[in-house]
Every structure is written in C-alpha cells, then in structure tokens.
Amino acid sequence: IYSTPTMTSKFSASNNTEDPREPNNCPPLTLSPDLSSERSKSSFNPLAITNFIDGSADATSKRRLLESWIIRDPSGVFNNDDNNYLHRSERHTRALAKFVRLVELCRAAGIGAKSTNGTSKDSAAVNHIEGEIIATPEFITLVNAISDDPFPTSLHWVMFVPNILTLCDAEQQAQWLPLCRDWKMIGCYAQTELGHGSNIRALETTATFLKESDGAAKGGEWIINSPTLTSTKFWPGTLGKTANHAMVIARLIDGSGKDHGIHNFLVPLRSMEDHTLLPGVETGDIG
C-alpha cells in the first residue's frame, strides 16, 4: 500500500519557482550539466515561456504537481529505466500495472469523480462509477507524464467510451457506462479490415438479425460474422490481448436479408470473469 496524492494540494502560482517534481529545486540527476549551463545563459525567463505555453502560471503549477505524482510515486511502477531490455509481453504486463496505478492515483485524488447529486467533488469519498476520470484534463496530463509505454487500454477511452456516449440511448448508457468506468468492461474500436483498411463502404463484416421465429432467443439476436480473410478486423488497438468488448463496425442485414449499410455493434469478446475468449471469437496479436 502506497501513499497517494490528493487534489487538495495547492495549484496556485504563489510560489511558482518551486517545482514539485524537483523538491527544494534540486534538479533530477539525469539533467545534463551542459543543458543547465545553456539555460543559465538564456536572455529570457524560461519560466515565463513555460507559463505562456501552459496558458498561465497556475496551469504550470498544476501540471508540474500532477507530473510529480508520477515522477515521485513510491511504488516505482512508472520507472522506465529497463524498458529497452524487457520482452514485449513484459512491457504489456507492466503497462497494465502502470495504468492500474494511474487509476488508483486519480481515484485517491477525486479526479473526475462525481458526488451523488452530480456535482464534481475533490474527495476520495465519492462515487467513481458515476464519474468520468478519462474525460478530465488531469487524466491526460498524467498519461503524458508517464510516457514511453503506450497503454494497452488507450482505445477504451479514446474510441470505445466516446462511441457509447454519442450513439447509445439513456437506457443503454445506464447499463454500460458504469462497467466502463469501473474498468470491468474494457473496449476497443474494430473498424479496420485487412482487405479494406478504413474504406468503410467496402467493409465485409456483417451483423445479421436472426428473428425469434427462426430460432433466436427472445426478441431476436445479432450474428456478427467476418466470413473471409479480407474481412478480418485488423489493427484495432487493445483488441489482441486486453479488450473484453469491441465496438464493431459491420453491415447491418435485417431479418429479411436487406443490407442497411454500416452500423455500430457492441460485441463481447472475452469473459468478464476470467478474460477467456468467448465461443466463436478468434483474436490475434500483431505486435
């Protein structure tokens, strides 16, 4: 168990020369002496330029504080020193560990959390299932601070959740978003096909509606099928090892056999209990 930061930390610029990433203004050991020397000879104030790029002195202070959580995290999981010597599967495992720790930090600090009345609240004692960590600027700053290891979960918040937010109705969002926010459902976006790239008019994967009268479950079922080699969903990040659901882009074939063009389908890929592939699902890892 490691100590975690809180958002009660001051973000004000009253002491903007103090960098929380470098306690007592001690530069990191990796800072080149030559770089320090050149910086000292500059004809302008580097901090003023930094504030300008960040948008304000307060924004610089906040960014530096968030980055310090990663740099000074006592767990050591964010250390990248041996990245070039790890096997790819080890990199994948550690990237997942980094992401878990990142979520812990965000939850402890109340980032993206909502109180029961829907008001943002900077506290750990809030309902994170109703919040949206991944939609906050603080989350993006922390992700950028980690660097070097792309997250295996990135398509979840970049593509999967936004599709649910924009395409699903209120009832569907109420069912799926809590699972997404609690990371029980991890999704990807499966559009690109091996033979068609992102030429969506040429996509071959189909979603055919099977009526209850034709043997489907009550209300009917959708059969998702990639019938050819060229229809294989190819290149969707997060799908190969990590995602347990996919937002699949497929041609909608109704119960009478009519093709209605491409639509989005939320498709389970793996068990949410033990992460094993579900019957009828084949995946591969292309590196």
275 alpha carbon, distance to own chain's centre? 18
Average pLDDT, the chain: 85
CA distance 50 to 193: 43
Residues 112 and 131 sit within 8 Å (Cβ to Cβ): yes
| Start-end of H helices in the chain | 33-40, 46-54, 57-71, 88-109, 137-146, 154-155, 161-167, 170-181
Bigger pLDDT: 40 or 172? 172
Residues 6 and 110 sit within 8 Å (Cβ to Cβ): yes
CA distance 247 to 172: 14
| 97, burial (CB in 10 Å: exposed 0-12, middle 13-18, buried 19+) | middle
CA dihedral 10, 114, 266, 229 (to 10 degrees): 10
Computed over its alpha carbons, how large is the radius of gyration of the chain?
Answer: 23
**Would you state the pLDDT for residue 26?**
56
The residues, any chain, with a CB within 8 Å of residue 281's CB and separated by 6 or more, are: 269, 270
Interval 120-143 mean pLDDT:
67
**Would you state the pLDDT for residue 104?**
92
**Would you state the pLDDT for residue 142?**
93
Residues 103 and 128 sit within 8 Å (Cβ to Cβ): no
pLDDT at 125 over 90: no
pLDDT at 36 over 90: no
Give the rounded percent of residues in the chain with a pLDDT score beyond 90: 57
Three-state secondary-structure class, residue 130:
helix
| Start-end of H helices in 110-157 | 137-146, 154-155
Interval 189-207 mean pLDDT:
94
In this prediction, residue 14 has a pLDDT band, given cuts at 50, 70 and 90, of very low
**Would you state the pLDDT for residue 83?**
87
The predicted model scores a pTM of 0.80
CA distance 20 to 91: 28
